[in-house]
Amino acid sequence: MANGIKDKVAIIGMGCSRFGERWDASPEDLMVEAYGEAMADAGIAPEQIGAAWFSTHMDDIGTGRGGTPMGIALRLPNIGVTRVENFCAGGSEAIRGAVYAVASGACDIALALGVEKLKDTGYGGLPMGSVGTYIPQWYPNAVAPANFAQLASAYQRKHRLDRDLLKRAIAHVSVKSHANGALNPKAHLRKPVTEEQVLAAPIVAEPLGLFDCCGVSDGAAAVIVTTPDIARGLGKKDLITFKALQVCTSNGWEMHSNEWDGSYVHTARIAAKRAYEEAGIRNPRQEISLTEVHDCFSITELVTMEDLFLSEEGSAVRDVLDGVYDADGRVPCQADGGLKCFGHPVGASGIRMLYEIYLQLSGRAGERQLPAPSLGLIHNLGGQPSQNVCSVSIVGLHRA
């Protein structure tokens, strides 16, 4: 019986580029920016890194294919660099690779870095990726907003909700994230918005309007991990360790049976259960101090609150409107602005989420610092509700 990852690996350094429309920066620039901050934070030399994991999604703008783009950009000392790609969950996947490498004892210190240069694709939203030769012959030419908007139609019907009430609840999700992002100097979108503005925005994919969709941003984020013992040997105190790393990948049940009702993300519930078990968490609503979840769209964040068992099924609308997930609420969500406002450079997002939790747990989150958080949850979702990869990670103060 496996005994999990809990407290086997600690973070010794993290870095994150400023996210946004970085017309000034190349993928290399963004990598160097995030890596530089992480290395300075860790206080180690490049030769001390034993292996690296590289997360990037788009393969047509020079950041994809193999590990060489990262190895060359960072002038890494010919260590193994593994490119991982798991849609929007790629960043969390890179973290998992680095953490598992350290936990296995195969290397002492490992690096995970994610980068995406979406603005160089020329698209206002996410570009359409290639999905092989068979799927396009029958599958809709679907875009992400409409894939996730389907959660709204099914959720609304399941819980017999008035469309306007659901619209208002998801609007609150965006208003909250904008308020948080406004306090974050590295965030892409830094203007607060009102509920009225959100509700009045043009529809992108029914019922999601412009403000229900996250930013399309450039950015990079990096994390350096090692064992708690080595971390202490490097002079690190108040360690932050991984409590759980779970990834759950669809096996097609959602689409290949008629049982899933389309109103939630099946893999998220499984990943959350496994993560709580791995971390030894019994009551997430009480024990989790803050969350960074995959709010690619406002409706995704709303149903995620139920998928993570933070809200009871059918009650996320009420909880959201009651401010449970606001910065001053019981379980703050997206203290950094989330995908919505920090931005969503696909391959970097999972690591960016960890970055915020790391800053908050270290008491280094500046203006948006939450009072004494001890345990943070990262939820990262790649693909679409009906077919996806979902990761749930938990990190916390090391109390050993």
Partner 1 sequence: MIGIVGYGGYVPRLRLSRQAVVQANLWYAPQFARRKGHRAMANWDEDSITMAVAAARDCLGPDDEKRRAIRSVHLASDTLPFAERLNAGVVCEALTLDEDVEARDVTGTPRAALTCLGDAVARVRAFGGDAVVLAADNRKTRAASSQELDFGDGAAAIRIGTEDVIAAFLGKGTVSVDFVDHFRLAGEDIDYHWEERWVRDEGIAKLVPRAVAAALGESGVAAEEVTRFIFPSTFARMAEQVAETCGIRPDAVVDVLENEIGETGAAHGLLLLAQTLENARPGEVIVIAQFGAGAEAVVLRVTEAVSRFRPRIGVSGWIARGVEETNYTKFLSFKGQLRLERGMRGEQDKKTALSTAYRHRKAILGLVGGRCEVTGKVYFPPSRLSIDGGGTVKDTQKPYKLAERRGRVLSWSAEQLSFHMSPPHHYGQIDFDGGGRILMEFSDIAPGDVEVGTEVEMVFRIKDFDERRGFLRYFWKATPVRGVASAPASQSGSE
* Shortest Å distance, C-beta 158 to partner 1: 9
Q: What are 264's two structure tokens?
A: 């939630």
Q: Does 386 engage in binding with partner 1 (CB under 8 A)?
A: yes
* Shortest Å distance, C-beta 142 to partner 1: 6
Using CA atoms, how far apart are residues 390 and 137, in angstroms rounded to an integer? 26
Using CA atoms, how far apart are residues 251 and 151, in angstroms rounded to an integer? 19
Q: Does 366 engage in binding with partner 1 (CB under 8 A)?
A: no
* Shortest Å distance, C-beta 17 to partner 1: 25
User: Residue 137 or residue 283: which is nearer to partner 1 going by CB?
Assistant: 137
Q: Cα separations (Å) of 261 from 35, 104, 156, 247, 265?
A: 42, 39, 11, 22, 10
User: Residue 100 or residue 148: which is nearer to partner 1 going by CB?
Assistant: 148
* Shortest Å distance, C-beta 153 to partner 1: 5
* Site mask for partner 1 (CB under 8 A), range 97-126, x = bound: -------------------------xx-x-
Q: Does 60 engage in binding with partner 1 (CB under 8 A)?
A: no
User: Residue 256 or residue 318: which is nearer to partner 1 going by CB?
Assistant: 256
* Shortest Å distance, C-beta 143 to partner 1: 5
* Shortest Å distance, C-beta 118 to partner 1: 13
Within 8-27, the residues that bind partner 1 by CB under 8 A are none
The catalytically annotated residue of 57, 172, 294, 344 is 344
Within 281-300, the residues that bind partner 1 by CB under 8 A are none
Report, in this order, helix, strand and coil percent for the chain, each rounded to 5. 40, 20, 40
Q: Are 73 and 184 in contact (CB under 8 A)?
A: no
Provide the β-strand partners of residue 221.
16, 114
Q: What are 330's two structure tokens?
A: 């019981």
* Site mask for partner 1 (CB under 8 A), range 255-274, x = bound: xxxx--xxx-----------
Residue burial 142-175, b: 16+ Cβ < 10 Å; e: rest: ebbbebbbbbbbbbbeeeebeeeebbbbbbbbbb
User: Residue 121 or residue 369: which is nearer to partner 1 going by CB?
Assistant: 121
User: Residue 115 or residue 204: which is nearer to partner 1 going by CB?
Assistant: 204
* Shortest Å distance, C-beta 5 to partner 1: 25
Q: Does 75 engage in binding with partner 1 (CB under 8 A)?
A: no
Q: Are 80 and 98 in contact (CB under 8 A)?
A: no
Ramachandran class of 226: left when φ > 0, alpha when ψ lies in -120 to 50, beta otherwise:
beta
Q: By CB under 8 A, which span of 57-65, 219-227, 247-255, 267-275 interacts with partner 1?
A: 247-255
User: Residue 145 or residue 350: which is nearer to partner 1 going by CB?
Assistant: 145
User: Residue 157 or residue 191: which is nearer to partner 1 going by CB?
Assistant: 157
Within 321-350, the residues that bind partner 1 by CB under 8 A are none
* 344 is an active site residue: yes
Residue 6's Cβ-count burial label (10 Å; 0-12, 13-18, 19+) is middle
Q: What does the DSSP 8-state code read for residue 20?
A: B
Q: Does 153 engage in binding with partner 1 (CB under 8 A)?
A: yes
Q: Are 344 and 177 in contact (CB under 8 A)?
A: no
16 φ, ψ (degrees, to nearest 5): -150, 135
* Site mask for partner 1 (CB under 8 A), range 131-150, x = bound: --xx-xxxxxxxx-xxx-xx
- Other beta carbons less than 10 A from residue 229's beta carbon: 10
* 214 is an active site residue: no
Using CA atoms, how far apart are residues 355 and 336, in angstroms rounded to an integer? 10
The catalytically annotated residue of 88, 213, 296, 341 is 88
User: Residue 161 or residue 327: which is nearer to partner 1 going by CB?
Assistant: 161
Q: Are 18 and 50 in contact (CB under 8 A)?
A: no
Q: Are 395 and 243 in contact (CB under 8 A)?
A: yes
* Shortest Å distance, C-beta 299 to partner 1: 10
Q: What are 380's two structure tokens?
A: 């990262």
Active site members:
88, 344
Query: Which residues contribute to the site for partner 1 (CB under 8 A)?
Result: 122-123, 125, 128, 133-134, 136-143, 145-147, 149-154, 156-157, 202-206, 208, 251-253, 255-258, 261-263, 386
